[in-house]
Chain A
Amino acid sequence: MNGIENASRRRFLTGGIVAAGALVLGVHYYPKLAAGDELPHDTNADHATLNPSVYLGINPDGTVWIVAHRSEMGTTSRTTLPLVVADELDADWKRVKIEQALGDKRYGDQNTDGSHSIRSFYDVMREAGATARFMLTQAAAQQWSVPAAECETDLHVVVHRSSNRRAGYGELARAAAKLPVPKREELKLKPKSAWRYIGKGEVSYDLETLVTGKAIYGMDARLDGMVYASVERPPVLGGKVKSYDDKEPLKVAGVRQIVPIDPFQPPPAFQPLGGIAVIADNTWAAFQGRKKLNISWDNGPNETYNSDSYKNELRGTSHNPCKVVRNVGDADAVFAKGGKVHEADYYVPLLAHAAMEPLVALAEFKDGKATLWAPTQNPQAVQDIVSKELGISKEDVICHVTLLGGGFGRKSKPDYVAEAAVLSKKVGRPVKVVWTREDDIKFDYYNAVASMYLKAALGTNGKPTAWLQRSVFPPIPSIFDVNAVYGDPGHLQQGWTDIPYDLPNLRIENGPAKAHVRIGWLRSVANIYHAFGIQCFTDELAHAAGRDSLDYLLDLIGQPRTIDFKGVEYPNYGASMEAYPWETGRLRHVTEVVAEKSGWGKRKHSKGTGVGIAAHKSFLTYVATVVEVEVSDQGEVRIPRVDVALDAGLVVNPEATRAQFEGAAVFGTSVVRTGEITATKGVIDQSNFQDYPVARINEAPTQTNVYIVDSDAPPAGVGEPGVPPFIAAFCNAIFAATGKRVRDLPITKLGLS
């Protein structure tokens, strides 16, 4: 497996390397490992001569090993976090080798979701690098008998300028390893002026393996003696097998065995869905054998689920008073006075992730231990579920993280990895479970279907004097608790309780909805529907008031202030309100920047063309987007240009950040154009790219211009925040071009043609 350097215990526990006195300590608050400890998850960094941190090791040849503990699915976190270590270490990037961590709690959180890899680990990475630099500098000072304060570093070398002495990091590694690891307070972080990589960035460490086809994704993992599995799962969530044919599939050349998988015990969480697995000598044979299973199903209670009637249910709920999650003033009193009122229903259907790499995992259960190779965003969740499914300890679950062929949140949920582990135990061999595209789309954890009702009373200048908004959607907690029907604060905060407008009377409500499919996180999650509802409704109000959309939006955002969430359960994406306050001035600023850069109000728009704007904060990043569309007489929609301005605080890797926002525009294009998953009698209607199309090159924005606002605020997210405002701005642009308001996604329902 040459795509990612993965630690292998066997490779290292020979020759007494562990006993050589390597310092193995946690930099931060992670558990320490000491020489002689059981090290099932050891890395090259652990065994390096100088190893002051779980993330970092330096060898006498000058090689710096940096551990990437978060998953690489295209956001470049596997490169960007090590880059922070390298910067603070003052290391030569060319002499850095990155190795991928196994799932192991000593690294802290490894669930690569929520756009927080940089936010949560920026300080940790800097401290790791600074610790090693401190020790190397001390070692050099001792050798030269000079004060450490007189020594400095210069790209992999410690320098004493007045005596013109220099020593490379490799030469100093042994001596440095004998020194005590400094306390955090002793560390001196580099000033911004001395940064080499932070703010400048680097291309992906894996770039060459990606373009040569040598990169190893989960789909590419291989083990000697492995067999392939394809699983026929219950078409309705919670369904069970009544009967199946165990003879015909075995007649297919290459099919070896038919293996049932138990149905899950509710709630589903990350358990395998159950069904019948066909084990074969190759993937194709497994697929062919599956077609002969002739399973009869007991579908269970979710058989009543139909998307059409469910939509009406959600809408009905949203038209009646629901649970109040935030209140300012007295909106009802204003509505009771009568006057001009504007109201609208907005709707977003279920959405599937459809990462290009379908779900896949390779497992080997042997001698009471499970070893897995999986494209997972969350290797510690793999350890949890596999230990439960197999009845072994978490320490006996070794999860190698391969590259991910896209993730978008789906690969945070390791049901597919657990399936492979269960099958390997039953079959007694390494098993690779390969999901087809149809499996991937039909057995997703979908982004929630949501219905929203918005109502505003309008004052003389067209500004709202009262604002009511209700959202109803089956919540993600329903996968962990079958009785969960209300949105939790973690998802209500996503563009709903934190509406940024300065409104005198505001009531925000949330209604109950029971889930009939698995609901899960998808790139930007609840922000998708919340931003769509609020930012398009805002545009409606602007038009109702006869005002320019930009001016009106800025008017509602109001003067710069910090939003007070007193009395509101507002988790702030897990960040402190002190470090990450909600500053409307920053949202206003990106809105002004994108307006200027896009030439808002200055460009002429001919018939069938138009621009739309939206501003939205998510994952602690402020974003504003302008989308330009052209709609032909035949109803074909083109997107010649997108402009997006963002304030994500400190941006470590601007090039990767631009790429994320370019990609977010394409992701949002798919949501608006064709994104819709529906169910009939509990069975998902869609199956592959013909009925769940995603944007192609000729449908995607032709040019997306990304403007990163310079900011000294602490780093925030970049993977997800581009999606929500793009969706709203795109829909507002369609209105500008056609006069048709998009309230139901996708726009296939709009009748443009």
Chain B
Amino acid sequence: MIQLKVNGVEQSFSGEPEMPLLWYLRDILGLTGSKFGCGIGLCGACTVHVNGQATRSCVTVMRDAAGKEVTTIEGLEKDGLHPVQKAWMQINVPQCGYCQVGQMMQAAALLNSNKKPTDKQIDDAMSGNICRCGTYQRIRVAIKSAAEEMS
């Protein structure tokens, strides 16, 4: 039995310990905000926070999530919207939107560790997250806007 916390709620899982966290979140818990994009940690659509760190849930197996605190987009902000979500709306970032949950989780983690990232630091932190619609320049602007709101 694997115990973990998801969005502040204690959960226990008795299935295959090799199951990736992504499929546990999506298929077992029904938290479908985190997306499946590549399955091998190359696109970032599945990004969640594990103990506060941006983590690719598609390559994080349940065994390794044991005892950890997992935060998904559904639990990113208890009330209302996180500054990153607000900035994403204000800058009108999403096109299809499919990758944006992963982008925002990555951006939120970046801003937790770096209050005022430069363009280069943003590119470094965000280069693991693919957006096929091509919203990158707006993502950069939105991260800076969120950084301002959070400061």
Which residues in A have some Cβ–Cβ distance to B below 8 Å? 72-76, 203-204, 206-208, 210-217, 219-220, 222, 228, 253-254, 282-285, 287, 354-358, 403-408, 434, 436-437, 655, 659-660, 662-667, 669, 688-690, 694-698, 700-704
Question: Contacts A696-B127, A700-B136, A702-B137 known; A210 to B27 CB distance under 8 Å?
Answer: no
Chain B neighbourhood of A219, CB < 8 A: 32, 35-36, 98
Q: Given known contacts A219-B98, A285-B19, A697-B122, what 4 new A-B pairs fall within 8 Å (CB)?
A: A211-B81, A211-B85, A356-B98, A688-B40
Q: Shortest beta-carbon distance, B24 to chain A, in Å? A: 8
A698 close to B123 (CB less than 8 A) = yes
A700 close to B127 (CB less than 8 A) = no
Closest to B32 in A: A220
Report the Cα distance A204→B89, complex, angstroms.
10
Supply 21 A–B pairs (Cβ within 8 Å), ascending by A.
A204-B94, A212-B85, A213-B33, A220-B32, A254-B15, A355-B132, A356-B96, A403-B96, A405-B35, A406-B98, A407-B96, A436-B39, A662-B137, A663-B95, A666-B136, A689-B42, A689-B130, A696-B130, A697-B139, A701-B137, A702-B119
Chain B neighbourhood of A254, CB < 8 A: 15-16
Q: Shortest beta-carbon distance, B76 to chain A, in Å? A: 8
Question: Contacts A211-B100, A697-B123, A698-B123 known; A689 to B134 CB distance under 8 Å?
Answer: no
- Asked if B104 is at the interface of the complex by the 8 Å CB criterion, the answer is yes
Among A213, A358, A660, A696, find the residue whose CB has the most chain B CB atoms closer than 10 A: A213
Selected from A74, A207, A228, A284, the residue in CB contact (under 8 A) with B96 is: A74
Closest to A668 in B: B134
Among A220, A356, A669, find the residue whose CB has the most chain B CB atoms closer than 10 A: A356
Closest to B135 in A: A663
Chain A neighbourhood of B124, CB < 8 A: 698
Q: Shortest beta-carbon distance, B150 to chain A, in Å? A: 16
Closest to B43 in A: A689
- Asked if B72 is at the interface of the complex by the 8 Å CB criterion, the answer is yes
Interface residues of B in 89-108 (CB under 8 A from A): 89, 92-101, 104
B38 close to A689 (CB less than 8 A) = yes
Selected from A204, A206, A662, A667, the residue in CB contact (under 8 A) with B138 is: A662
Report the Cα distance A655→B139, complex, angstroms.
16
A406 close to B96 (CB less than 8 A) = yes
Interface residues of B in 1-46 (CB under 8 A from A): 15-16, 19-20, 23, 26-28, 30, 32-40, 42-43, 45
- Asked if B68 is at the interface of the complex by the 8 Å CB criterion, the answer is no
Selected from A206, A212, A404, the residue in CB contact (under 8 A) with B81 is: A212
Report the Cα distance A418→B130, complex, angstroms.
29
Question: Contacts A212-B85, A284-B23, A284-B27 known; A659 to B95 CB distance under 8 Å?
Answer: yes
Report the Cα distance A694→B43, complex, angstroms.
10
A357 close to B127 (CB less than 8 A) = no
Chain A neighbourhood of B19, CB < 8 A: 282, 284-285
Q: Shortest beta-carbon distance, B134 to chain A, in Å? A: 3
B37 close to A282 (CB less than 8 A) = no
Question: Contacts A282-B23, A357-B35, A697-B126 known; A403 to B97 CB distance under 8 Å?
Answer: yes
- Asked if B131 is at the interface of the complex by the 8 Å CB criterion, the answer is yes
Closest to B35 in A: A219
B74 close to A213 (CB less than 8 A) = yes
Report the Cα distance A72→B96, complex, angstroms.
7
Q: How many A-B residue pairs have CB under 8 A?
A: 178
Closest to B27 in A: A282
Among A405, A662, A695, find the residue whose CB has the most chain B CB atoms closer than 10 A: A405
Selected from B32, B96, B126, the residue in CB contact (under 8 A) with A404 is: B96
A282 close to B33 (CB less than 8 A) = no
Closest to B140 in A: A697
A74 close to B45 (CB less than 8 A) = no
Chain A neighbourhood of B36, CB < 8 A: 219, 283, 358, 434
B97 close to A74 (CB less than 8 A) = yes
Chain B neighbourhood of A694, CB < 8 A: 130, 132
Question: Contacts A284-B23, A697-B127 known; A357 to B88 CB distance under 8 Å?
Answer: no
Report the Cα distance A356→B43, complex, angstroms.
8
Report the Cα distance A503→B18, complex, angstroms.
65
Report the Cα distance A695→B72, complex, angstroms.
26
Chain A neighbourhood of B131, CB < 8 A: 356, 666, 697
Q: Shortest beta-carbon distance, A112 to chain B, in Å? A: 12
Q: Shortest beta-carbon distance, A683 to chain B, in Å? A: 20
- Asked if B129 is at the interface of the complex by the 8 Å CB criterion, the answer is yes
Q: Shortest beta-carbon distance, B65 to chain A, in Å? A: 14
Closest to B98 in A: A405
Closest to A210 in B: B97
Closest to B142 in A: A211
Interface residues of B in 29-82 (CB under 8 A from A): 30, 32-40, 42-43, 45, 72-74, 81
B99 close to A356 (CB less than 8 A) = yes
Q: Shortest beta-carbon distance, A394 to chain B, in Å? A: 28
**What are the 7 closest A-B residue pairs judged by CB atoms, nearest first?**
A213-B33, A666-B134, A405-B98, A74-B96, A74-B95, A663-B134, A213-B73
Chain B neighbourhood of A695, CB < 8 A: 134
Closest to B23 in A: A284
Report the Cα distance A694→B132, complex, angstroms.
7
B134 close to A437 (CB less than 8 A) = no
Question: Contacts A284-B20, A406-B132 known; A357 to B42 CB distance under 8 Å?
Answer: no
B133 close to A74 (CB less than 8 A) = yes
Report the Cα distance A516→B148, complex, angstroms.
54
Chain B neighbourhood of A666, CB < 8 A: 131, 133-134, 136
Report the Cα distance A695→B135, complex, angstroms.
11
Report the Cα distance A356→B102, complex, angstroms.
11
Chain A neighbourhood of B95, CB < 8 A: 74-76, 659-660, 663
Chain B neighbourhood of A73, CB < 8 A: 96
Closest to B85 in A: A211
Q: Shortest beta-carbon distance, A402 to chain B, in Å? A: 11
Closest to A209 in B: B97
